Chain A
Amino acid sequence: MDNDSNNKEQLDEIRKQLTLANNDVREGEQAYFCDARPVVVEPYRGILERFANWARSESLWILGFGTGCGAIELRPLMTSRYDMYRFGIQPRPTPRQAGVFVIGGYASVKTMKRIVRSYEQMQGPKFVVGLGSCTINGGMYWDSYNTINRLDHYIPVDVYIAGCMPRPEALLAGFNALKAKIRAGECDGMNKYAQNFDWYKANQKQIIKHWEMPDYNW
């Protein structure tokens, strides 16, 4: 009998470790949300993964979510002067369909919550481009009370484009750098996020006071 209850306790303990608590969801709403943790998905092997990476690099769908002032530099990319479509880059209005998240400059704490939420809703492999100096070290908002300093403490970042503001040409160069990295198979932010999920979550919860959403937004 004792053995059985011990086993049950151990099982409960393991179950607790495998699932998320979702403590900050409003009372009575926990059943609506998934409590599974993100898992590492192994890439394909050999030539198939190289082919998939080529396809991913040639079809970059940007999430149409301007998170800061830098997003103003994204718009000219659609116009005839820069024309990002010729590189296979296009905007996409919903996180479910987008593959690239461009963080446009400073990320205030309030926006950070939405950034985390949108990032987690994107389907992997997903890539993040940090646009502007603010995403690297806080830039001119370094000692602000309301913005984060290092973006990669909160979500994995693949490419940074330095500058305040970087011009659209710099953005295109950044996207081409991202393409080269994807083709080389070096952009694995999705699995990095799953592996270090607790660390990222702790960092996020440290700054976002009113969490009020599930621990992982499926």
Chain B
Amino acid sequence: MKDIAMKALYTLISLFVILNYGLLLTGTMARVRAKVQGRIGQPVYQPYIDILKNNFLRTSIYHGVMFFLGPVFRLAGGLGTYLFIPVIFGSTIFSNFAFSGDLLLVMYFIFFGQLGMALGAGQSGHPYSPIGVSRGLAQMTAFELPFALAVISIASQYGTLSITGIVAAQQGGILNWVAFTNPLAMVAGMISFLGMSMDNPFSIVLAPQEIPIGPPTEMNAGFLGMLQTNRAIFNGAKLVLFMNLFFGGAGNLLVMVVKTFLLYFYVVFVGASFPRFRPDQSIRFFLGIPTLIGIAAVVLQMV
């Protein structure tokens, strides 16, 4: 009993850290994008003010029970993803609820939030919401394929589905990282990571100029605040997951910050360099070369 209580306390601390780190990272990257465009950009702490403002709004409108549950499911998806990923290798506080089959559960949770949001957005009744949702789910199904293949390849390489086990196997120097021992899996995984981050060229879901803002078109005030909070946590969770899978995990917070920053920077770098795909282009892209690379990664591990 005491163990569980301590673990819950540690997880709350870890959650607090990743929430703030996610928000600061979002703010920093907005400034990086601004620099690319020759602007000064918003303050680093702008995401905090936006969330505060949204929660301080005096009125809020809702469209039914599912509309309430949409953002809740999304947040549950974000939290679920994060809570089963060990953040710092060998740390008690930041190991969260990692267990032997956590990788499968995490992959499920990445999908879960989107499905919940689809229900909530559907009940809002706005025509742009289902368009965004259908785009999101289609793209998600497409990039899950190379990602799943990369995961299968790594799992068969190390014979484990535990993230802690995969990180443990990569210890002992840069050359032990999956990025070097299984480069094809890393390439397939990192390409699907671009899709998962929904930045350009895969920003077809929110597509601000096209379908105003996709699924959250009708989300307002506290609902939007919740979605923004989830975005920070989910971003952090994804970055930590990919760092663990391909880049040897992290032994302490500083290494985690450096590695995840560079990972996010890669997404922003690609996003600032390329325009947006159309939905059909995006889906064809993922089902093409990245999937072939993923299959090659699996086949190479099997033979």
A→B interface (CB under 8 Å): 41, 43, 52, 55-56, 58-59, 79-80, 83, 85-86, 88, 90, 92-94, 96-97, 99, 123-125, 190, 218
Contacts and interface: CB of A to CB of B under 8 A. Distances in A.
A52 B52 CA distance: 8
Given A80-B37, A80-B38, A97-B224, A41 B43 contact: no
Interface in B121-170: none
Interface in B58-82: 58-61
Contact of B53 (A59, A86, A218): A59
A126 B296 CA distance: 55
A96 B59 contact: no
Contacts of A125: 57-58
Interface residues of B, number: 31
Interface stretch (B93-101, B215-223, B261-269, B270-278): B215-223
Given A123-B60, A123-B61, A94 B217 contact: yes
A122 to B, nearest CB: 9
Contact of B217 (A52, A58, A96): A96
What 8 A-B pairs come out closest when comparing CB atoms? A93-B212, A80-B38, A52-B56, A59-B53, A96-B220, A55-B52, A41-B58, A83-B39
Contacts of A80: 37-39
Interface of B: 30, 34, 37-43, 46, 49-50, 52-53, 56-61, 208-209, 212-213, 216-221, 224
B49 to A, nearest CB: 5
Contacts of A123: 57-61, 220-221
A86 B56 contact: no
Judged by DSSP, the binding face of A is: loop
B49 A90 contact: no
Contacts of A90: 42
A43 B59 CA distance: 11
A96 B215 CA distance: 13
9 contacts: A59-B49, A83-B34, A85-B41, A90-B42, A93-B213, A97-B213, A97-B220, A99-B57, A123-B61
A8 B202 CA distance: 60
A41 to B, nearest CB: 4
A93 B46 CA distance: 18
Given A52-B52, A58-B53, A59-B49, 6 more contacts: A80-B37, A92-B213, A93-B208, A97-B224, A125-B57, A125-B58
Nearest to B220: A96
